[in-house]
Structure 1
Amino acid sequence: MKHDPIISMRNVCKTYISEHKTNEVVRDVSLDVAENEFVVLFGPGQCGKTTMINLIAGLQLPTSGEVVVDGKKVTAPGPDRGVVYQTTALFPFCTVMGNVEFGPKSRGIDKKTRRERAEYFIKLVGLEGFEKSFPNQLSGGMRQRVGIARAYANDPKVMLMDEPFGHLDAQTRYMMEAELEKIWQKEKRTVVFVTNNSEEAVYLADRIIILTNTPTHIKEEIKVDLPRPRQYSDPAFLEIRRKIEEICDDTL
């Protein structure tokens, strides 16, 4: 039996209009994402990937078309969608525990329940022992772990991740990709992940949506049917990566 997608974008367009010009960013995008699917939006910088994330998050509304999450039209942000950005935007005055507990606390979850949930996700992201640390005491990779734990602790149906590892050095980025893959395997969620790194896309995705330059639309979809965890040197991995870069060379 076929299930309805948890995310559905239908003929979505987004145009910004200012006094001096009109800037069309997203053009006629239709996309379905299944429950617990890990979908990567792949495309060049400034092509509209972040705008698509913001439209799903409800931080922006489409100029035309509609976005539906879990059967409801998106008209505003909501706790059913967790967002992790490249800059984590942690509360600097809160500890790791305070940051991770913030969402459930804001929703009125009792202290015992939210503390247990926060402890679970702090441990899951490998930060056990750092509960009392403040963001300025953590490395970039550790701060991103806090951001991921904070998003998960709010129990969203959908995780939206906008180049969360883009500012990290190469070694930390590889480590965080592996950690995210393990976390996702243990705590399945529907994930829409933005990157312009083809290696990262193939390592993480069930399906890669290749976007064109602005105004962005979907050029091609690639299904990544490789066993997890994936090996960067696997010939099948390298072939998918080569195919992505070939498509981009031809069309972007």
Structure 2
Amino acid sequence: MVGSGKIDEIIRCENVNKTFISGNGVYEVVKNLNLSIRENEFVVLFGPGQCGKTTVLNLIAGLEAASDGEVMVDGKKVMGPDPSRGMVYQTTALFPWLTVMENVEFGPKARGVRKEERRKIARKYIEMVGLEGFEKSYPVKLSGGMQQRVGIARAYSNDPVVILMDEPFGHLDAQTRYMMEEELEKIVSAEKRTVVFVTNNIEEAVYLADRILLLSNCPTHVVKEYSVDLPRPRDYVSEEFLALREKIMQEMEETL
């Protein structure tokens, strides 16, 4: 994709198909998917439940292989998982036997980063997500929102090119979810990364996204896209916010 005078595409899916084969037959989940995402862009994959959003994210992550087509990240064909693509899941997937500090520094440690340096990296991102003072705490002692903060810090600590988020706030109560959306907006503004975020919550999509890609029912592909030009931080009840929300929901009902 062409930006201001230069090509800054970081993710590209071209004619991507994904088919699963089971004892019950062939199940086509993704069909002729084409998308392009720019460097440091926050893109939300939005669509109905069970439409294939997570499968698209897994294809970009390298956790699933495309049946046909090509998935490219940072100019390289995706052949499998890679530290350059950080993941944040709905269930935090933290190591329960490790402290907050040990969870956040796990990636750099696995890459052979010296203890002093990886502790410095971990402290930076623990501070970024507002968990100073909890470095020695274990996940079981943390609230759901705090656990997701650890997951976000852990993803950033590997210095990824892309951060992929699969409904990370979907299991939180409404109040905590709003708080985490506001915190994530601040984090992304402070530490620029390309973010691909999966949700089926329209308010969350409009609040966070630079651009929203509306996905079809299964087998999924991009139906429409929306640029979200609202100033940040956004107001959930502003006239412009509500108008865009209504437009997307109406077109979703008409299209799917």
Name the TM tier (shorter chain).
over 0.9
Equivalent in the alignment of 1:183:
187
Q: Separation in 2 of the partners of 1:51 and 1:165? A: 18
Deviation at 1:18, TM superposition (A): 1.6
**Residue pairs, 1:72-83, within 5 angstroms:** 72-83=76-87
TM superposition score normalised by structure 2: 0.97
Identify which of 68, 72, 82 aligns with 2:72: 68
Q: Separation in 1 of the partners of 2:112 and 2:70? A: 30
Equivalent in the alignment of 1:163:
167
- Find out whether 1:17 has 2:33 as its counterpart: no
- Find out whether 1:212 has 2:224 as its counterpart: no
- Find out whether 1:144 has 2:148 as its counterpart: yes
Structure 1 spans left out of the alignment, 5+ residues: none
Q: Separation in 1 of the partners of 2:76 and 2:8? A: 12
Structure 2 spans left out of the alignment, 5+ residues: none
Q: Separation in 2 of the partners of 1:19 and 1:174? A: 41
**Residue pairs, 1:48-63, within 5 angstroms:** 48-63=52-67
Identify which of 92, 109, 113 aligns with 2:113: 109
**Per-residue CA distance 1:127-160 (angstroms, 9 max, x = gap):** 0000000000000000000000000001001000
Q: Separation in 2 of the partners of 1:230 and 1:87? A: 26
**Per-residue CA distance 1:48-72 (angstroms, 9 max, x = gap):** 0000010000000100001000000
Q: Separation in 1 of the partners of 2:14 and 2:119? A: 39
Secondary structure of the 2:105 match is helix
Equivalenced residue count is 252
- Find out whether 1:173 has 2:198 as its counterpart: no
Letter in 1 for 2:225: E
Q: Separation in 2 of the partners of 1:56 and 1:200? A: 21
Equivalent in the alignment of 1:41:
45
TM superposition score normalised by structure 1: 0.99
Equivalent in the alignment of 1:198:
202
**Residue pairs, 1:123-134, within 5 angstroms:** 123-134=127-138
**Per-residue CA distance 1:17-76 (angstroms, 9 max, x = gap):** 123311000010110100000000000111000000100000001000010000000001
Q: Separation in 2 of the partners of 1:27 and 1:241? A: 27
**Per-residue CA distance 1:152-195 (angstroms, 9 max, x = gap):** 00100100000000000000000000000000000000000000
Q: Separation in 2 of the partners of 1:150 and 1:236? A: 34
Note the aligned Cα RMSD (angstroms). 0.7
Letter in 1 for 2:205: A
